[in-house]
Structure 1
Amino acid sequence: MLKDKIQARLKIRHLEMEHLTQFNDLLRYAFQVTYQELLDAGWQEDEIRQSKSPVLQKADVLGWFDEEKLVSQIAVYPMRVNIHGRIFEMGGVTGVATYPEYAGMGLMHELMTRSLQEMRSRGQTISFLYPYSIPFYRKKGWEIVSDKMTFSIRDTQLPKQVDVSGMVERVDLEHPDLKGVHNRFTEIRHGALVRDDLAWEEYWRWDSEDVVAALYYNERHIPLGYVVYWIRNEVFTIKELVYLNEEARHGLWNYISAHFSMIRRVQGDNYTGEPLAFLLEDSEITESIAPYIMARIVDVQEFLKRYPFSGSAQRKSHTKLTFSIADPMAEWNRGIFSVQWDAQGVQHISREVIGEPVEMDIQTLTAMLLSYKRPSYLYRIERIKAAQEDIEVLETLIRREQPYFSDYF
């Protein structure tokens, strides 16, 4: 058969800078972004070609080649993420694409399997991605772990001014205080991406030239928050609003409200997992919620070793749990993983059964340990099979703060 002949000549290999044009061409074809559309949006020819060069320079990129033609690809960025106060190495999956004439040959399945193996070897125990198809990635072991809330506030609903001791200053997008605030925010916010230079490049990549950054400084000129936004057609659009305390929150909303005479509406995205309406005097605003980022644990054993369970050392020393995990892609994640704590509260992981297993798939384990959904809820909807007492133990051991993830790559 012709398909068999094609598969026989396909080879997997890592992409290099020499493959940049083919990499970009495949991305634009798969996501239906034409060269002319990019030009119309204000991109220059050199910018179009170089727009994804950081991927090939800094990421691990695998592809299938039909002789010298790139036909399928996947890229993994080296990233880090805060999980309940502990920083984990993370593989950020992007650039997933296959030409349609090569569909149905299992190419992407093999690329994802190889990528997971390589993430594991690099110590990236968890992976995040922005999904083009949630069902597709669920079949591969990823699960939704955070939401994006979109809000719209009329000018007459903007908060009244609250007295604060500091003030807001507009700054350059490369201002060190902007990155400094985000670094401090990452240290205290579960789920937040640790933005290195690569992550900041991705953060700004598709923004237009009218984007503005404004920082809130307290009376000692210490930066405590920022808002990234643009104003267009009398609409104030918030890309991201970050604050380290309530003073900064009030100060930033004072600044936004000061645009009252210039705008008709404020709109934006909220990634906190909590509705904005409750914080406003006039709460009758429009808010919508949609799933945003997906994640999957790459290496269950190593992830559990470092995972910051809640609870005192004394309680942990009397606690034992056995997980039975199913994983459609990573065979090393299948089977038994037992967790127990010594008298000092140090957790130990083994592959031996030490109690009645708590059964779930890798998607459910990821959503549960990242606190996107509670163990009792997952048990109620039959995503977990376990004894009731084990669910109660899990409720005490897993922290309640939902993930905050505002990045796109």
Structure 2
Amino acid sequence: MQQSIDLLNYVFQVTNQDVSEIGQQQMQAWKKPIIEHCDVIGWFSGDQLVSQMVVYPFSVNIHGQPFQMGGVTGVGTYPEYAGLGLMNDLMKKSLTNMKNRGQTISYLFPYSIPYYRKKGWEIISDVITYTVRDTQIPKPYDVPGRIERVEFADKDIRTVYAQFSHKANGAMIRNRLAWEEHFKWERDELTGCVYYDEHDNPTGYMYYKVENETFYVKEMIYNNEEARRGIWNFIGAHFSMVYYVKGKIFTNEPLSFFLEDSEIEEKISPYYMARIVEVDRFLASFPFTSHASGKLAFAISDPLLEWNNGTFVLSFADQKRVTIENGVKADVKTDIQTLVTLLLNYKRASTLKEIGRLEANEETIAYLEAIIPDNKPWFSDYF
């Protein structure tokens, strides 16, 4: 465990001051769940760990269907061992392990988007950071419910998130480990609050902190418009304490549209990447719309996993099934990176064809856009 911590501290430039502030014992306590619950593999030179990769056992909601997901983190190699193909081998081994565990999709936060694209991952979600001046905070809305401040791990927060995550495409279905890892590094700084409707049902929540005359929204989740307005009422109640409200939105829905004074600062950035681990099983489980019928052949190329190279014929007759038929003419030609961003609906088929990432005729493009649910991805977790 100590070698793993030392490697990550070196690769991610964690200073001695950072370590002393966190505390070595505290850092080991935080790493213990990873060692116990995750798939942690590494290359060794003798007894010395020189390269490693960690995979969390998570689940995500994709268009209303739960999928087992391998969450990749802790990727690092000492620079003197770079260029030897160590990480490439660790990735292949980790993806093989995911396949054997039934994790048909993998997520990661990229330190280099071009690097992970070459390995088969692609962008599937965005984050919008915003800054609202105190004078732009909405006037109080008339809502029948109320806000209460609660403990970080309050059960009503988890109830609200569970309801939300089963609707939000791409969202983490948080198990105990996911909740333990959530805001792990700043949990002690955050306050939680819950919005209750007039029947005392929790319908929204927020994690936040007030610091240096700024209200920081760390996570805001709401299951209806009333809860959204109730939470903003609570933010507005801090008007005399702050000059700015800063936060993040994890979908492509700008906050400015909801504000009377919409001239706010917003910045959109790519957030998480994903890759399909096993094409045939993923396609067989994917929740296509009721417009799907007949057969559809995908010719897929994968730079890392040989079992994803070939033509996959998806048949919707009777019971949906996928077969590999390499002699069949493909309706769609693309790579593993583009397939995941297509199916998670980060980009539509027509856009991907226009930029040269996908080959198909116009009829097939229209069909793809009819059978892939039009739900934009949302993902706020970090690991």
Instruction: State the TM bucket, normalised to the shorter chain.
Output: over 0.9
Asked if 1:28 is matched to 2:9, the reply is yes
Asked if 1:38 is matched to 2:19, the reply is yes
TM superposition shift of 1:281: 1.0
TM superposition shift of 1:278: 0.5
Asked if 1:335 is matched to 2:310, the reply is yes
Deviations 1:40-93 (A, max 9, x none): 4xx233102222221111100110011110000001000000000000000000
Asked if 1:286 is matched to 2:265, the reply is yes
Asked if 1:387 is matched to 2:361, the reply is yes
Partner of residue 100 from structure 1, selected from 63, 76, 79? 79
Indicate the SS of the match to 2:143: coil
Indicate the SS of the match to 1:261: coil
The separation in 2 between residues aligned to 1:188 and 1:293, in whole angstroms, is 19
- Aligned letter for 1:196? N
Deviations 1:321-370 (A, max 9, x none): 1100000011000010011211x5x3221112555431100000000000
The separation in 1 between residues aligned to 2:34 and 2:330, in whole angstroms, is 45
The separation in 2 between residues aligned to 1:276 and 1:97, in whole angstroms, is 36
Asked if 1:153 is matched to 2:126, the reply is no
TM superposition shift of 1:192: 0.7
Structure 2 partner of 1:349: 322
The separation in 2 between residues aligned to 1:137 and 1:354, in whole angstroms, is 30
Structure 2 partner of 1:236: 215
Structure 2 partner of 1:407: 381
The separation in 2 between residues aligned to 1:38 and 1:68, in whole angstroms, is 24
Asked if 1:128 is matched to 2:115, the reply is no
Structure 1 partner of 2:342: 368
Partner of residue 321 from structure 1, selected from 296, 306, 328? 296
Gaps of 5+ in 1: 1-19
Deviations 1:11-65 (A, max 9, x none): xxxxxxxxx100000000000002322324xx23310222222111110011001
Indicate the SS of the match to 1:52: helix
Structure 2 partner of 1:218: 197
**Residue range with higher mean Cα deviation, 75-84 or 390-399:** 390-399
Partner of residue 288 from structure 2, selected from 291, 300, 309? 309
Map 1:265-284 to 2 at 5 A: 265-284=244-263
Partner of residue 396 from structure 1, selected from 364, 370, 377? 370
TM superposition shift of 1:208: 5.2
Equivalent residues of 1:320, 1:354 under 8 A apart: no
- Aligned letter for 1:100? P
The separation in 2 between residues aligned to 1:204 and 1:48, in whole angstroms, is 14
The separation in 1 between residues aligned to 2:42 and 2:213, in whole angstroms, is 45
Indicate the SS of the match to 2:358: coil
Equivalent residues of 2:331, 2:364 under 8 A apart: no
The separation in 2 between residues aligned to 1:299 and 1:209, in whole angstroms, is 39
TM-score, normalised relative to structure 1 = 0.91
**Residue range with higher mean Cα deviation, 226-235 or 385-394:** 385-394
Asked if 1:73 is matched to 2:34, the reply is no
The separation in 2 between residues aligned to 1:350 and 1:217, in whole angstroms, is 49
Partner of residue 186 from structure 2, selected from 207, 214, 231? 207
Structure 2 partner of 1:7: none
- Aligned letter for 1:396? A
Structure 1 partner of 2:160: 181
Percent pairwise identity: 51
- Aligned letter for 2:261? D
Root-mean-square deviation over aligned CA pairs: 1.1
TM superposition shift of 1:209: 2.4
Deviations 1:178-229 (A, max 9, x none): 1111111111111110111111121121115231110000111110000111
Indicate the SS of the match to 2:152: coil
Partner of residue 225 from structure 2, selected from 242, 246, 252? 246
TM superposition shift of 1:398: 0.9
TM superposition shift of 1:388: 1.6
- Aligned letter for 1:334? N
Indicate the SS of the match to 2:54: strand
Indicate the SS of the match to 1:96: strand
* Number of residues of Structure 1 aligned to a counterpart in Structure 2: 382
Indicate the SS of the match to 1:262: coil
- Aligned letter for 2:316? W
Indicate the SS of the match to 1:266: strand
Indicate the SS of the match to 1:50: helix
The separation in 2 between residues aligned to 1:174 and 1:39, in whole angstroms, is 27
Indicate the SS of the match to 2:379: coil
Asked if 1:359 is matched to 2:339, the reply is no
Equivalent residues of 2:213, 2:242 under 8 A apart: yes
Structure 2 partner of 1:256: 235
